[in-house]
Amino acid sequence: MHTRFRLAAALWVALAACGCSGAPGGPKTTLVFTGLTGEPDSLNPLVSNEADVFNLSHLYISDLVDSDGRGELYGELATRVPSRENGDVSADGRTIVYHLRRGVRWQDGVPLTARDVVFSYRAVMNPANNVDTRVGYAEVASIAAPDPATVVVHLRRPFSPFIAYFGAPEGFGIFPEHLLGRYPNLNDVPYDQKPIGSGPYRVVEWKRGDSVVFEANPGYWRGKPHIARLIYRIVPDPNARVQVLRTGEVDAIFEADPQQLPQLRSMPGIRVVLTPVNDIHALVFNTADPVVGDRRVRQAVAYAIDRQKLLAVATYGSGIIVDADQPVNGSAYAPSPAGYRYDPAAARKLLDEAGWRGAPGATRSKNGRPLDLDFAIAPQGITGSTLVATVAQRYLNDVGIATRIKPYSPAVMWAVKAAGGIMASGRYQLAYYAWWVLGPDPDDSWQVACDQIPPAGQNLYFWCNHRADAATNDALATWDGPARKRDYAVVAQEIVADVPFFPLWQIRNPSAYRGTLHNFEPSPFGSVFWNAWSWSF
């Protein structure tokens, strides 16, 4: 059977089974979308290592606070965002109080209470759970639920980004104790395949390799969403995604491949929006490796790449060049110290100084060992990976650095160390990688701090820079915005100088959807789906 026909047939069967697609010419009741990275590794964001699962989970799992279309925090399960001004954060920054909405229920009808918040904290901290980072949560000295609508958290020390982590866009949502409390760990439980949350949609079915079906939750505290059903079509190939949008088999591509922008912009009736997100794409290094552990080699790689040309080829102008870890729309962004501009002569000089020598046009060597790097990519996890790696490979070859491009599935590339992940286990030298700074708080200690090297966190570069670490810790200990911005400027300086990773660009995420969809407003610091409850046709 022809692929396009098979996809269309599968979709028709799914829609016919649910009986909710609407009669021809009648009101539209189902939104079918594709995009993201393809097949999820789990539907439980607590034990997933994929940013897109966090994104998707906003449909069915609620946070205490979330991030809106302007990138500002607002109360979701909490009635308000705790702050010093409203009295919910103590003067010393070590006690935080959350007031929960009354009447919120899990999708099975059981009331959601402060006990669930306490349980969710304990699930994150349970060492038996494969949680990839516990930043923020690890700062809790004690947590209590004095009544069903109040949670009181005491911190071990002042930790200014706590609000953005705890039950928030940079951390994890709130999970049901009555369903999950009996398990010793949550790494492989039925909930991971069909979670029950408190969000605007409930998971109806996950057909591996085909789709995830969501149905509007009539008991959602804001009221039943306007669109009755959402269907996430799992279409890993970006070209196939464009085709099913063109033929009308899907209504939207969320977080589309920038390579498809010319085609998407040419489609009648399709709106294309670019959302600046805290998603920085970079070439990253395993600094524990004996070859790229030499800073001069890392600097040479940075000088060898023409980012402007690579950006134009790979993103069709949707990327924004950044030199360090802070996104241009973030509160701690400041023009970086002089970064790396395309300078192959400087790259060759650095390699000479590091002892890697060779004739022009040949692969360099040192003590009989060729300068030949393993280059890890996840083509199904980051669209355009193969193109970026291939172009970068040519630039590196020009200065005498050979690379072996090694593609992995997202599950293998980004799995936690306990599960043998390529990056967390340090089984790579060079990689093309993307990370989310996520919420509106600029903290990214989970990926740069010395105490976040796997398995403790996501410092996948095995980088420990004591000046950057001191500045990071200082920023975490103060609630003063200008002081924190100065600290993050120091971190940026050390990243540029030491190059644990070489930022290529910050992404403006393309989304393409039919003009009949209203109220679509992706969050720059959170999820595409943060306000799916308000979408309508």
Instruction: Reduce the secondary structure of 405-452 to three states and give it as a string.
Output: EEECCHHHHHCCHHHCCCCCCCCCCEEEEEEECCCCCCCCHHHHCHHH
The residue ranges of every structural domain in the chain are 3-251+516-534, 276-508
Superfamily of structural domain 276-508: Dipeptide-binding Protein; Domain 3 (3.10.105.10)
DSSP structural state of residue 532: G
According to DSSP H, which parts of 248-343 are helical?
261-265, 295-304, 307-315
**% of the chain surpassing 90 pLDDT:** 74
Residue 7 pLDDT class (50, 70, 90 cuts): very low
345's enclosing H/E stretch is helix 344-353
pLDDT at residue 119, rounded to an integer: 98
DSSP-based three-state secondary structure for 486? helix
- pLDDT value of residue 10: 37
Picking from 13-22, 81-90, 175-184, which range would have the lowest pLDDT averaged per residue? 13-22
Residue 296 has pLDDT above 80, yes or no: yes
- pTM summary value: 0.78
What token pair was written down for 418?
């306990």
Q: Calculate the dihedral angle through the C-alpha atoms of 220, 224, 227, 232, rounding to the nearest 10 degrees.
A: 20
> What does the pLDDT read at residue 437?
54
In this model, does residue 427 exceed pLDDT 90? yes
Burial label, 303 (beta-carbon count in 10 A; 0-12, 13-18, 19+): buried
Residue-wise pLDDT for 200-255, tens only, equals: 999 999 999 999 999 999 999 999 999 999 999 999 888 999 999 999 999 999 98
**Residue bearing the bigger pLDDT, 362 or 51:** 362
Structure tokens at 404: 């072996």
Pick the CATH number of 3-251+516-534 from 3.40.190.10, 2.60.40.420, 2.70.70.10, 3.60.150.10: 3.40.190.10
Average pLDDT over residues 317-333: 88
**Three-class DSSP category at 264:** helix
Helices 295-304, 385-398: crossing angle, 10 deg rounding: 110
Write 185-193 long-range contacts (CB < 8 A, 24+).
Answer: 185/126, 185/128, 185/129, 185/130, 186/44, 186/46, 186/47, 186/123, 186/126, 186/129, 187/47, 187/128, 187/129, 187/130, 191/44, 192/42, 192/43, 192/44, 192/47, 193/42, 193/43
Q: What is the residue type of 511?
A: S
Provide the pLDDT confidence category of residue 26 given band limits of 50, 70 and 90. Answer: low
Contact, 66 vs 169, CB < 8 A? Answer: yes
Percent of the chain with pLDDT over 70: 94
Same fold, 3-251+516-534 and 276-508: no
